A and B are shown apart, each in its own frame.
Chain A
Amino acid sequence: GQSLEQPSEVTAVEGAIVQINCTYQTSGFYGLSWYQQHDGGAPTFLSYNALDGLEETGRFSSFLSRSDSYGYLLLQELQMKDSASYFCAASTGGFKTIFGAGTRLFVKA
């Protein structure tokens, strides 16, 4: 079957750097996306990697290695407001996107 694996929870300290990993197993693959969701809110699009390498957007960066079926989201200079769930998602073709179960990030003071 098709699936994405990511840790269920990560805890980090304010000001630190945290990396959320995602491995995927899909029958087709076009790219990896990341979404942020605060409790009760809408998942919000953060980034999309179609090619191998690191994409940086402010404090957030996303990495993809297609040969390893692996990607990660890197959050720098953590702030309390970054406490949320983060979902990786694989575009598998035909406008279809498969999501992981989400990683709950707790940022402590």
Chain B
Amino acid sequence: EAGVTQFPSHSVIEKGQTVTLRCDPISGHDNLYWYRRVMGKEIKFLLHFVKESKQDESGMPNNRFLAERTGGTYSTLKVQPAELEDSGVYFCASSRGQGGYYGYTFGSGTRLTVV
């Protein structure tokens, strides 16, 4: 089966601009997660979708971040306007069931640099 695909792999934008990240999960995986890793720190939870519904968005840093998952397929994460502290690697992951037991399948991430 195809893996989790993220686009773009890298993005460099100026402070105040908008960036949209895209994630295509494994087909049939109802659960989709966004995570972020900043400056070699922990991989931090942002939010969790079950199909098209936001199950948990407690990790979203502020209202400059907007995630959507139209039709329960691919997901987008928009940052508007971007700030310097938003720089990091944004990972998307999907799972069929509960991620702990079955494990998450991660994408390779989008490295976002805000200058």
B99→A42 contact, CB < 8 A: no
Segment with Cβ contacts to B, from A11-19, A62-70, A76-84, A98-106: A98-106
In this complex, how many residues of chain A approach chain B with their Cβ under 8 Å: the count is 26
Point out which of A31, A35, A97, A101 has the most chain B C-beta atoms below 10 A from its C-beta. A97
Contact partners of A25 in chain B: CB under 8 A? none
Size of the B side of the interface (Cβ < 8 Å), in residues, is: 27
Structural contact, A48 and B42, CB atoms closer than 8 A: no
Question: What are 20 sample pairs from A and B whose C-beta atoms fall under 8 A apart?
Answer: A4-B42, A31-B100, A31-B101, A33-B103, A40-B108, A41-B108, A42-B4, A42-B109, A43-B91, A43-B106, A44-B106, A48-B103, A50-B101, A95-B55, A95-B98, A96-B48, A98-B42, A98-B45, A99-B43, A101-B41
* Inter-chain pairs besides A50-B100, A97-B99, A101-B41, 18 sampled, C-beta below 8 Å: A31-B101, A33-B103, A35-B106, A41-B108, A42-B105, A42-B106, A42-B107, A43-B43, A45-B105, A95-B50, A95-B55, A95-B56, A95-B98, A96-B45, A98-B45, A99-B42, A99-B45, A101-B42
